[in-house]
Structure 1
Amino acid sequence: MNTLKPILTAMALALAGCALGPTGEPPAMPQPDHYGAQPQPAQTVAAGGVAQQFVTGAHPVPQWWTLYRSDALDALVNEGLANSPNLAAADHGLQGAREQLRGQIGSSLLPTVDALGTAQRQRAPGVPQLGIDKLQYALFAGLIDVRYTFDVFGATRLNNAALASRVNVQAFQYEAAQRALAANIVTSAIGAATLHAQIDTTEQLIALANAQASDVQQRYALGAVSRTDVLSAQQSAAALSVSLPGLQQQWTAMRHALAVLLGRTPDQAPPDLDLASLTLPAQVPVVVPSDLLRTRPDIAAAEATLVAAAAEVGAATAQMYPSITLSAALGQGGFNWPIATSGAGALWAIGASLTQPIFHGGALVAQRRAALQSYEAANDTYRQTVLTAFQDVADRLAALDHDAQALDAASTSAGTAQGVYDDTQARYRLGAVPLYAVRQSEQQWRNARLDEVRYRGTRLTDTAALFQAMGNPPVNPATVGNRGAKAASEETPAAAAPAAAR
């Protein structure tokens, strides 16, 4: 052991002056003043009685769906998070990855101890000079074998760090899956409620159109209108009837999808929410771009992938340096049980080996180059993930602004059409207009109401999408229970991925 000390010291000093791989730091990203092509306004126009405010610099809301103030919606999200098979599968995969990390750390950083036992009967050729043509003998042995490889150049530490970061990737992906599931449940529930309201209004429009066509038919029989008027009324009623099956199919598919998201079979789809019972959140957070890098799990996963790739470059480099292994064995052996179990059968061995790769057909160099290319790919993927996140937020902000404008116009149109309908009803009661005029005005009102329902549902779902795009509040990864390498990092500092990449 004393002869190894100078060698180990020299190797450590040689390694201290150089880095085996990239640091794993994410590339610097541009920090735009605002997300979209145009700065977002401080608030939207007032539509449906609500002008949504964009609170710039606020933290994301963890359980944002509770802001809709619907106990039924909260129950659906909680049920889905508890019962989704996809989420459960992701959780089991994450737990399995954590156990693999623990196993790798334990087997690579601690000595290995194995028990070996043999009992065999052998026949070997004899020695002709001694007149022995064959030898037959028994051999019994039992050993305890201990081996330990010094991680002089950090190959083991870097491999463990890379695996820890890969586990972190799965942890962030699990976190993203949770958020996506909650958002999908909310948008599906709102979508089903919106379609239900549209179907109800469409059925009323079809009933009005059929009544109008019947009235025109009667007037045609009296010679008050032409056959063209009859055909036109019938065509309008048929056109409305054609639109209904499509809406019903969308509604049915949405309910089936919602049931599966909740972990139910499609025949157990939950009842629709009442669209009017949902409260539109009046304030929505707008995380500044620099903070968005820490709040979105997809960006965190891309950063963890980058850290893992940097550690893998270092590990591939370290494989090109020498490795030192110590071994020791202690046991008993002999040609029969009495000797094997007595003091005369004592066996022991101790040794050290130094391995320096010399020629591997270019494999080690190629592996390092491949690791470098993987690192560059992870670097590019991180940049693209950040840009896509900026685009996602920009699109959601613009959508909310435009949704409010569309809903405001639709509400104005519906209110005006309802006023015309009320006036026409009053004139009909006075005998100033015929019944078909009342039906026409009611059709116009319900058509405007149909647009209002559609835009209200779109505004609710786009609000959910913006909350989803903001991510989670920033936290210290070491304190997050769902982060993959937490358990392993508690066992050994070697699992700390950022340090391992240096």
Structure 2
Amino acid sequence: MKWKLAPATLIIVAATGCMVGPNYKRPLVNTPAAYRGAPEVIPIGTPLGAEKYTSIFTDPVLQSLIAEALKNNYDVKIAADRVLEQEAEVGITRAGQYPTVSLGGTYDAVALPGGLLSGLGNNSGSSNSNGANSNQGHTKIYTGGLTASVAWNLDFWGYYRRQTEAARAYLRATRWAQQTTYSTLVENVATSYYQLRTLDSELTIAKDELKARKDSLELTHKLETGGSDSLVDVRQAEELAYTAEAQIPDLERQITQQENSLCILLGRAPGPIARGLPIDQAPHPTEVPVGLPSDLLERRPDIRRAEELLVQANANIGVAKAQFFPQLSLSGTGGTSTSQLKGIVESKNLYYYAFGSVSQPIFEGGKLTNNLHYAKAEDQELVDTYRQTIAGALRDVDNALVAYSKTREYREKQEKQTEATRDAVRLARMRYQAGATSYLEVLTNDANLYTSELTLKTAQQQEALSLVQLYNALGGGW
């Protein structure tokens, strides 16, 4: 009875024996109670980073572009391929914990001249038996059998289990890298789209400016013909009209190139991009719930990836330590051999042998010691990397918060300035047509309005992009 229980006991011990090396514990990280750029009264609600991108970017066209990118972008596909690769790698590594079993079979047939076998039989005093069959002066001998072999490296010290733990941690890190790819892609598509819509607005402004310049040129021509204006004013009006006209092809170039860049993100060939809401209608909520800084440790995919790499390094310390201990292995081979097919399962034709071995490293020139030192140093490096990643994430959120707040203030002031400049242009044109001022005043106010409108579009773009950056910094987009 004791011998029957021994194999089962051995299997349990080998599978659940002790594992040397430290078990993972998350490093202590001091996170602030609130973000530096957060408002004094923090809005209540679902944190921005926990919202789906469709709740943040309300432009239907932008939503469809992001969805297309998440489906067809090549970086997304590559990230998914890497996850599949690592899933297979975990299976390969985990296989080391189990015994290997192989089966085989043999079959031999030999034909000898009948006289040779008879002579051998007469000399030895034996007959042609044991599978020998005489046929037309030849004797055929048949032999065959089945074999099975088992080999098992017993995992008493957790060498293979720590390897599997490290491989699984790297698999999780690969999945978090995939989520980082999603988040970055959402940010890049939204950023590229808002830049495109800003260029569209600038092109519209340039065309309006060209029309205004042509109207001014026509007016100065009439006044110069009537003797109320000089040829100098006409030439100045012509110069400004040509300058405004030259801006259009350059903006059209930028728009086409921006469309091509966006197409790459979408995983499609270069071509036109659909348009949705103009840049001045981009979302800019007045209250943005940001949650607590400690939430970043769970929400930001780059932080989660850094932690899983740390888990992998911690497990590798156990792998390095296990190599100091004796390595135990069991092997065995068994089978059957016979010259008669019907006797292949008879007990008298069965054979087997089994053996075990123990190997204890004695001297390897410091290899094992330095391997352990390397594993510990790598673990400490990744602890520092983990903390650095958290510090960088907190910085990103603080920068994005202050950017979102200040770009809004800047945009609001720029709107007021543009409105004032637009009214100044209207009054200058009325004074010029009434002969109360020179054309120089009109030119000056026109130039100020053109610059002010372009600056306003840039301010609107910056506000939209700051929301995109804040959403990404808070761990949104995946």
Report the TM range for the smaller structure's normalisation: 0.7 to 0.9
Q: Deviations over 1:448-484 (max 9, x none)?
A: 22211111111011101101110159xxxxxxxx9xx
SS of structure 1 residue aligned to 2:20 = coil
Rounded Cα–Cα distance in structure 2 between residues aligned with 1:200 and 1:223: 33
Cα distance, 1:21 vs structure 2: 3.1
Whether contact under 8 Å (1:42, 1:54) holds in the other structure is no
Cα distance, 1:288 vs structure 2: 1.9
Number of the residue aligned with 2:390: 386
Rounded Cα–Cα distance in structure 2 between residues aligned with 1:373 and 1:57: 40
Whether contact under 8 Å (1:216, 1:233) holds in the other structure is yes
Rounded Cα–Cα distance in structure 2 between residues aligned with 1:466 and 1:378: 26
Q: Cα–Cα, structure 1 residues 85 and 319, in superposed 2: closer, same or farther, change >3 Å?
A: same
Number of the residue aligned with 1:485: none
Is 2:171 the counterpart of 1:182? Answer: no
Whether contact under 8 Å (2:61, 2:276) holds in the other structure is no
Q: Cα–Cα, structure 1 residues 141 and 452, in superposed 2: closer, same or farther, change >3 Å?
A: same
Report the more deviating stretch, 298-307 or 256-265. Answer: 256-265
Number of the residue aligned with 2:62: 73
Cα distance, 1:100 vs structure 2: 2.7
Is 2:425 the counterpart of 1:421? Answer: yes
Number of the residue aligned with 1:31: 31
Number of the residue aligned with 2:268: 264
Cα distance, 1:303 vs structure 2: 0.2
Cα distance, 1:96 vs structure 2: 2.7
- Trace 1:136-285 onto structure 2 (pairs within 5 A): 140-209=144-213, 212=216, 224-225=229-230, 227=232, 236-237=240-241, 240=244, 243-271=247-275, 273-285=277-289
Q: Structure 2 residue aligned with 1:110, among 81, 93, 98?
A: 98
Number of the residue aligned with 1:498: none
Whether contact under 8 Å (1:150, 1:324) holds in the other structure is yes
Percentage identity across paired residues of the two chains: 23
Rounded Cα–Cα distance in structure 1 between residues aligned with 2:425 and 2:195: 29
Rounded Cα–Cα distance in structure 2 between residues aligned with 1:63 and 1:57: 11
Whether contact under 8 Å (1:400, 1:463) holds in the other structure is yes
Q: Cα–Cα, structure 1 residues 216 and 295, in superposed 2: closer, same or farther, change >3 Å?
A: same
Question: Which amino acid is the alignment partner of residue 32 of structure 2?
Answer: P
With the length of structure 1 as denominator, give the TM-score of the two structures.
0.76
Cα distance, 1:377 vs structure 2: 1.9
Rounded Cα–Cα distance in structure 2 between residues aligned with 1:97 and 1:258: 30
In the alignment of these two chains, the number of paired residues is: 444
Q: Deviations over 1:251-272 (max 9, x none)?
A: 2222112112122111253346
With the length of structure 2 as denominator, give the TM-score of the two structures.
0.80
Greater C-alpha Rg: 2
SS of structure 2 residue aligned to 1:267 = coil
Cα distance, 1:142 vs structure 2: 2.3
Q: Structure 1 residue aligned with 2:80, among 88, 91, 95?
A: 91
Q: Cα–Cα, structure 1 residues 118 and 379, in superposed 2: closer, same or farther, change >3 Å?
A: farther
Whether contact under 8 Å (1:189, 1:273) holds in the other structure is no
Q: CA RMSD in A?
A: 3.8
Cα distance, 1:219 vs structure 2: 6.7
Is 2:452 the counterpart of 1:451? Answer: no
Question: Which amino acid is the alignment partner of residue 96 of structure 1?
Answer: E
Report the more deviating stretch, 277-286 or 171-180. Answer: 277-286
Whether contact under 8 Å (1:146, 1:327) holds in the other structure is yes
Is 2:39 the counterpart of 1:41? Answer: yes
Q: Cα–Cα, structure 1 residues 360 and 217, in superposed 2: closer, same or farther, change >3 Å?
A: farther
Rounded Cα–Cα distance in structure 2 between residues aligned with 1:290 and 1:108: 39
Whether contact under 8 Å (1:215, 1:436) holds in the other structure is no
Whether contact under 8 Å (2:61, 2:274) holds in the other structure is no
SS of structure 2 residue aligned to 1:327 = strand
Whether contact under 8 Å (1:80, 1:262) holds in the other structure is yes
Whether contact under 8 Å (1:159, 1:311) holds in the other structure is yes
Whether contact under 8 Å (1:212, 1:439) holds in the other structure is no
Is 2:62 the counterpart of 1:64? Answer: no
Q: Cα–Cα, structure 1 residues 394 and 91, in superposed 2: closer, same or farther, change >3 Å?
A: same
Rounded Cα–Cα distance in structure 2 between residues aligned with 1:418 and 1:304: 57
Cα distance, 1:203 vs structure 2: 2.8
Q: Cα–Cα, structure 1 residues 247 and 307, in superposed 2: closer, same or farther, change >3 Å?
A: same
SS of structure 2 residue aligned to 1:60 = helix
Whether contact under 8 Å (1:196, 1:272) holds in the other structure is no
Question: Which amino acid is the alignment partner of residue 114 of structure 1?
Answer: S
Cα distance, 1:335 vs structure 2: 7.3
- Trace 1:332-411 onto structure 2 (pairs within 5 A): 332-333=336-337, 343-411=347-415
SS of structure 2 residue aligned to 1:76 = helix
Cα distance, 1:177 vs structure 2: 0.8
